[in-house]
Amino acid sequence: MAERIEGVEISHPERVIFADTGLTKAGLARYYQSIAEPMLEESANRPLSLLRLPDGMAGERFFQKHPGKGFPKSIRQMQITESDGEDAAYAYVTDAAGLVAAAQMGTVEFHIWPARRDRLERPDRLVLDLDPDEGLGFDAVRSAALSLRDRLLDLGLSPWAMLSGGKGVHLVVTLRRNLGWDDLKHFARDFAALCAQDEPDRYTVELSKASRKGRIFIDWLRNERGSTAIAPFSVRARPGAPVAAPVGWDELAGIDTARAFGIQAAQERGWAGVARKPQSLTRAMFEALEAALAG
Protein backbone atom coordinates (compact mmCIF):
# COMPACT_ATOMS: atom_id res chain seq x y z
CA MET A 1 0.00 0.00 0.00
CA ALA A 2 1.65 3.19 -1.10
CA GLU A 3 0.59 6.61 0.06
CA ARG A 4 1.20 9.96 -1.57
CA ILE A 5 2.59 12.80 0.55
CA GLU A 6 3.57 16.14 -0.96
CA GLY A 7 3.40 14.43 -4.32
CA VAL A 8 5.90 11.77 -3.25
CA GLU A 9 4.94 8.11 -3.32
CA ILE A 10 5.76 6.62 0.10
CA SER A 11 6.44 2.89 -0.01
CA HIS A 12 5.63 0.89 3.13
CA PRO A 13 3.87 3.85 4.79
CA GLU A 14 2.95 1.76 7.83
CA ARG A 15 6.49 0.53 8.44
CA VAL A 16 7.41 1.35 12.02
CA ILE A 17 10.63 3.39 12.12
CA PHE A 18 10.65 4.02 15.88
CA ALA A 19 9.23 1.04 17.76
CA ASP A 20 9.20 2.96 21.06
CA THR A 21 6.98 5.80 19.86
CA GLY A 22 5.26 3.93 17.04
CA LEU A 23 6.32 6.59 14.51
CA THR A 24 5.86 5.15 11.03
CA LYS A 25 7.52 5.98 7.74
CA ALA A 26 4.41 7.88 6.63
CA GLY A 27 4.32 9.66 9.99
CA LEU A 28 7.92 10.74 9.56
CA ALA A 29 7.23 11.91 6.00
CA ARG A 30 4.20 13.90 7.19
CA TYR A 31 6.33 15.47 9.92
CA TYR A 32 8.88 16.69 7.38
CA GLN A 33 6.04 17.95 5.18
CA SER A 34 4.52 19.98 7.97
CA ILE A 35 7.83 21.26 9.44
CA ALA A 36 9.13 22.20 5.99
CA GLU A 37 8.49 25.93 6.25
CA PRO A 38 10.53 26.64 9.41
CA MET A 39 13.07 23.92 8.59
CA LEU A 40 13.78 25.19 5.09
CA GLU A 41 14.27 28.71 6.42
CA GLU A 42 17.60 27.50 7.76
CA SER A 43 18.42 24.43 5.69
CA ALA A 44 17.27 25.03 2.12
CA ASN A 45 20.05 25.21 -0.46
CA ARG A 46 22.75 23.81 1.83
CA PRO A 47 24.80 20.75 0.90
CA LEU A 48 23.46 17.86 2.95
CA SER A 49 24.59 14.69 4.56
CA LEU A 50 21.71 12.30 5.15
CA LEU A 51 21.58 9.69 7.89
CA ARG A 52 19.46 6.92 6.42
CA LEU A 53 17.77 4.01 8.18
CA PRO A 54 15.75 2.26 5.47
CA ASP A 55 14.64 -0.45 7.90
CA GLY A 56 14.07 1.87 10.84
CA MET A 57 15.85 2.01 14.18
CA ALA A 58 16.09 -1.78 14.27
CA GLY A 59 18.10 -1.97 11.06
CA GLU A 60 21.36 -0.66 9.69
CA ARG A 61 22.17 3.02 9.32
CA PHE A 62 24.56 4.91 7.07
CA PHE A 63 25.45 8.47 6.12
CA GLN A 64 25.16 9.50 2.53
CA LYS A 65 26.38 12.78 1.07
CA HIS A 66 26.81 11.87 -2.56
CA PRO A 67 23.35 11.23 -3.99
CA GLY A 68 23.39 7.97 -5.87
CA LYS A 69 21.53 7.00 -8.96
CA GLY A 70 17.94 6.41 -8.07
CA PHE A 71 17.60 9.60 -6.05
CA PRO A 72 14.45 11.46 -7.08
CA LYS A 73 14.64 14.86 -8.77
CA SER A 74 13.20 16.71 -5.80
CA ILE A 75 16.46 15.90 -3.97
CA ARG A 76 18.53 18.28 -6.02
CA GLN A 77 22.17 17.87 -6.93
CA MET A 78 25.10 20.22 -7.37
CA GLN A 79 28.77 19.74 -8.14
CA ILE A 80 31.25 20.71 -5.43
CA THR A 81 35.01 20.67 -5.69
CA GLU A 82 36.36 18.67 -2.76
CA SER A 83 39.66 19.12 -0.98
CA ASP A 84 41.37 16.65 -3.30
CA GLY A 85 40.45 18.91 -6.22
CA GLU A 86 37.88 16.50 -7.62
CA ASP A 87 34.30 17.49 -8.32
CA ALA A 88 31.58 15.42 -6.67
CA ALA A 89 27.80 15.55 -6.59
CA TYR A 90 26.15 16.78 -3.42
CA ALA A 91 22.48 16.80 -2.42
CA TYR A 92 20.42 19.76 -1.34
CA VAL A 93 16.72 20.53 -1.05
CA THR A 94 14.62 23.60 -1.73
CA ASP A 95 11.11 22.52 -0.83
CA ALA A 96 8.88 20.21 1.19
CA ALA A 97 8.87 17.61 -1.59
CA GLY A 98 12.65 17.29 -1.22
CA LEU A 99 12.39 16.63 2.51
CA VAL A 100 9.59 14.11 2.00
CA ALA A 101 11.48 12.39 -0.81
CA ALA A 102 14.46 12.01 1.51
CA ALA A 103 12.18 10.44 4.11
CA GLN A 104 10.95 8.03 1.46
CA MET A 105 14.61 7.07 0.92
CA GLY A 106 14.88 6.21 4.61
CA THR A 107 16.35 9.50 5.81
CA VAL A 108 15.80 10.22 9.49
CA GLU A 109 18.49 12.88 10.10
CA PHE A 110 19.45 15.86 7.94
CA HIS A 111 22.95 17.31 8.46
CA ILE A 112 23.81 20.66 6.89
CA TRP A 113 26.87 22.52 5.70
CA PRO A 114 27.43 25.91 7.34
CA ALA A 115 27.31 27.53 3.89
CA ARG A 116 24.68 27.94 1.21
CA ARG A 117 24.82 26.84 -2.38
CA ASP A 118 25.06 30.26 -4.00
CA ARG A 119 28.19 31.24 -2.05
CA LEU A 120 29.87 28.06 -0.91
CA GLU A 121 33.13 29.73 0.08
CA ARG A 122 31.38 32.21 2.38
CA PRO A 123 29.99 30.30 5.39
CA ASP A 124 27.03 31.82 7.22
CA ARG A 125 26.98 29.85 10.46
CA LEU A 126 29.42 29.64 13.35
CA VAL A 127 28.56 26.47 15.27
CA LEU A 128 29.80 25.54 18.73
CA ASP A 129 28.71 22.03 19.56
CA LEU A 130 28.82 21.27 23.28
CA ASP A 131 29.45 17.56 23.83
CA PRO A 132 29.41 16.55 27.50
CA ASP A 133 31.45 13.64 28.80
CA GLU A 134 29.52 10.55 29.77
CA GLY A 135 27.89 11.03 33.11
CA LEU A 136 27.73 14.84 32.99
CA GLY A 137 24.19 16.03 33.55
CA PHE A 138 22.26 18.47 31.43
CA ASP A 139 22.62 21.13 34.13
CA ALA A 140 26.32 21.27 33.31
CA VAL A 141 25.60 21.58 29.60
CA ARG A 142 23.00 24.27 30.19
CA SER A 143 25.24 26.38 32.39
CA ALA A 144 28.08 25.96 29.88
CA ALA A 145 25.79 27.16 27.09
CA LEU A 146 24.77 30.20 29.08
CA SER A 147 28.39 30.90 29.99
CA LEU A 148 29.58 30.64 26.38
CA ARG A 149 26.74 32.89 25.35
CA ASP A 150 27.95 35.53 27.81
CA ARG A 151 31.45 35.27 26.42
CA LEU A 152 30.16 35.75 22.89
CA LEU A 153 28.02 38.70 23.98
CA ASP A 154 31.14 40.23 25.52
CA LEU A 155 32.83 39.92 22.14
CA GLY A 156 29.81 41.54 20.49
CA LEU A 157 28.15 38.40 19.10
CA SER A 158 24.65 37.16 19.87
CA PRO A 159 24.21 33.39 19.40
CA TRP A 160 21.04 31.35 19.38
CA ALA A 161 20.69 27.92 20.95
CA MET A 162 19.45 24.53 19.87
CA LEU A 163 18.87 21.37 21.87
CA SER A 164 20.63 18.66 19.89
CA GLY A 165 18.08 15.99 20.69
CA GLY A 166 20.89 13.92 22.19
CA LYS A 167 22.92 15.09 25.17
CA GLY A 168 24.26 18.45 24.09
CA VAL A 169 23.43 21.94 22.96
CA HIS A 170 24.54 23.84 19.87
CA LEU A 171 25.30 27.55 19.96
CA VAL A 172 24.94 29.14 16.54
CA VAL A 173 25.94 32.62 15.41
CA THR A 174 24.24 33.47 12.14
CA LEU A 175 26.86 35.21 10.01
CA ARG A 176 26.98 37.76 7.28
CA ARG A 177 28.78 36.06 4.46
CA ASN A 178 31.88 38.18 4.38
CA LEU A 179 34.61 35.78 5.54
CA GLY A 180 36.06 32.52 4.25
CA TRP A 181 36.55 29.10 5.77
CA ASP A 182 40.01 29.78 7.15
CA ASP A 183 38.78 32.77 9.13
CA LEU A 184 35.74 30.93 10.46
CA LYS A 185 37.79 27.94 11.57
CA HIS A 186 40.39 30.18 13.11
CA PHE A 187 37.78 32.08 15.08
CA ALA A 188 35.98 28.95 16.29
CA ARG A 189 39.22 27.27 17.34
CA ASP A 190 40.49 30.32 19.17
CA PHE A 191 37.19 30.91 20.93
CA ALA A 192 36.98 27.30 22.12
CA ALA A 193 40.63 27.35 23.18
CA LEU A 194 40.08 30.50 25.19
CA CYS A 195 37.14 28.93 27.04
CA ALA A 196 39.29 25.89 27.86
CA GLN A 197 42.20 28.08 28.88
CA ASP A 198 40.08 30.07 31.33
CA GLU A 199 38.12 27.12 32.73
CA PRO A 200 40.20 23.98 32.14
CA ASP A 201 38.16 21.94 34.61
CA ARG A 202 35.02 22.66 32.70
CA TYR A 203 35.94 22.58 29.00
CA THR A 204 38.28 20.82 26.65
CA VAL A 205 38.97 21.32 22.96
CA GLU A 206 40.67 17.94 22.57
CA LEU A 207 38.57 15.19 21.13
CA SER A 208 40.71 12.47 22.64
CA LYS A 209 38.69 10.35 24.97
CA ALA A 210 41.21 10.16 27.80
CA SER A 211 41.69 13.92 28.15
CA ARG A 212 38.03 14.50 28.58
CA LYS A 213 37.06 13.40 32.08
CA GLY A 214 34.00 15.14 33.49
CA ARG A 215 34.30 17.99 31.04
CA ILE A 216 32.47 19.36 28.04
CA PHE A 217 34.12 19.02 24.67
CA ILE A 218 33.63 22.25 22.73
CA ASP A 219 33.49 20.82 19.23
CA TRP A 220 34.63 23.67 17.00
CA LEU A 221 35.33 21.34 14.06
CA ARG A 222 31.78 21.87 12.75
CA ASN A 223 33.15 25.02 11.13
CA GLU A 224 35.22 23.55 8.35
CA ARG A 225 34.48 23.26 4.67
CA GLY A 226 32.77 19.93 4.20
CA SER A 227 31.77 19.45 7.82
CA THR A 228 28.14 19.31 8.85
CA ALA A 229 25.92 19.76 11.89
CA ILE A 230 22.46 18.45 12.65
CA ALA A 231 19.78 20.60 11.00
CA PRO A 232 17.25 22.48 13.14
CA PHE A 233 14.01 20.47 13.31
CA SER A 234 15.66 17.25 12.15
CA VAL A 235 14.43 14.16 13.93
CA ARG A 236 17.28 12.29 15.63
CA ALA A 237 17.79 8.55 15.12
CA ARG A 238 17.67 7.97 18.87
CA PRO A 239 15.18 6.38 21.22
CA GLY A 240 11.99 8.39 21.44
CA ALA A 241 12.49 10.20 18.11
CA PRO A 242 13.66 13.48 19.68
CA VAL A 243 13.99 16.60 17.53
CA ALA A 244 16.89 19.07 17.28
CA ALA A 245 14.96 22.04 18.64
CA PRO A 246 15.92 25.71 18.64
CA VAL A 247 15.14 27.31 22.01
CA GLY A 248 15.07 30.83 23.33
CA TRP A 249 17.64 31.76 25.97
CA ASP A 250 15.00 32.53 28.59
CA GLU A 251 13.37 29.21 27.92
CA LEU A 252 16.62 27.25 28.14
CA ALA A 253 16.93 28.08 31.82
CA GLY A 254 13.84 25.97 32.51
CA ILE A 255 14.76 22.96 30.35
CA ASP A 256 16.37 19.90 31.88
CA THR A 257 17.19 17.67 28.93
CA ALA A 258 18.56 18.02 25.39
CA ARG A 259 15.78 15.81 24.09
CA ALA A 260 12.90 17.81 25.52
CA PHE A 261 10.89 18.06 22.30
CA GLY A 262 9.46 15.54 19.84
CA ILE A 263 7.78 15.99 16.50
CA GLN A 264 4.50 17.28 17.92
CA ALA A 265 6.13 19.95 20.07
CA ALA A 266 8.52 20.94 17.30
CA GLN A 267 5.64 21.73 14.95
CA GLU A 268 3.95 23.87 17.57
CA ARG A 269 7.15 25.69 18.50
CA GLY A 270 8.83 26.54 15.24
CA TRP A 271 11.33 29.37 15.74
CA ALA A 272 9.37 30.96 18.59
CA GLY A 273 11.66 32.93 20.89
CA VAL A 274 14.75 32.49 18.68
CA ALA A 275 16.48 35.44 17.01
CA ARG A 276 18.84 34.80 14.09
CA LYS A 277 20.18 38.14 13.03
CA PRO A 278 23.18 37.93 10.66
CA GLN A 279 26.34 39.24 12.29
CA SER A 280 29.95 39.82 11.34
CA LEU A 281 33.14 38.50 12.87
CA THR A 282 35.19 41.67 13.06
CA ARG A 283 38.89 42.30 13.11
CA ALA A 284 38.50 43.57 16.66
CA MET A 285 36.96 40.26 17.76
CA PHE A 286 39.81 38.26 16.25
CA GLU A 287 42.30 40.52 17.98
CA ALA A 288 40.51 40.27 21.32
CA LEU A 289 40.65 36.47 21.15
CA GLU A 290 44.25 36.52 20.07
CA ALA A 291 45.24 38.85 22.89
CA ALA A 292 43.52 36.74 25.53
CA LEU A 293 45.10 33.47 24.38
CA ALA A 294 48.31 32.52 26.09
CA GLY A 295 49.70 30.25 23.37
Partner DNA sequence: GCTGGAA
Partner DNA sequence: TTCCAGCAACGCCAC
Partner DNA sequence: GTGGCG
Residues that bind DNA (CB under 7 A): 11-12, 15, 25, 49, 52, 54-55, 60, 62-66, 68-70, 82-84, 88, 104-106, 111, 131, 206-211, 217, 219, 221, 224, 226-228
CB of 95 vs Mn ion, minimal distance in Å? 26
Closest to 74 measured CA to CA, from 111, 32, 41: 32
Stretch that binds Mn ion, among 72-80, 168-176, 232-240, 281-289 (CB under 5 A): 168-176
In three-state secondary structure terms, 236 is coil
Which among Mn ion, DNA, none contacts residue 224 (Cβ within 5 to 8 A by kind)? DNA
Q: Residue 87, Cα to own-chain centre: how many angstroms?
A: 25
List of residues 6+ apart from 283 with CB closer than 8 A: none
* In the complex, least distance from residue 275 CB atom to DNA, rounded to whole angstroms: 27
The answer to whether the beta carbons of residues 135 and 175 sit under 8 Å apart is no
Q: Residue 43 or 228: which CB sits closer to Mn ion? A: 228
Among residues 42 and 131, whose Cβ is nearest to DNA? Answer: 131
CA distance 196 to 184: 18
**Of 26-34, 48-56, 121-129, 241-249: span binding Mn ion (CB under 5 A):** 121-129
Indicate the residue type of 84: D
Contact 194, 77 (CB under 8 A): no
- Per DSSP, the three-state class of 88 is strand
> Of 124 and 219, which CB lies nearer to DNA in the complex structure?
219
Q: Which of 231, 126, 132, 146 is nearest to 188 (CA)?
A: 126
176 makes contact, choosing from Mn ion, DNA, none, with CB < 5 to 8 Å by partner type, with none
Can you give the binding site for Mn ion, defined by CB under 5 A?
A: 88, 129, 131, 168
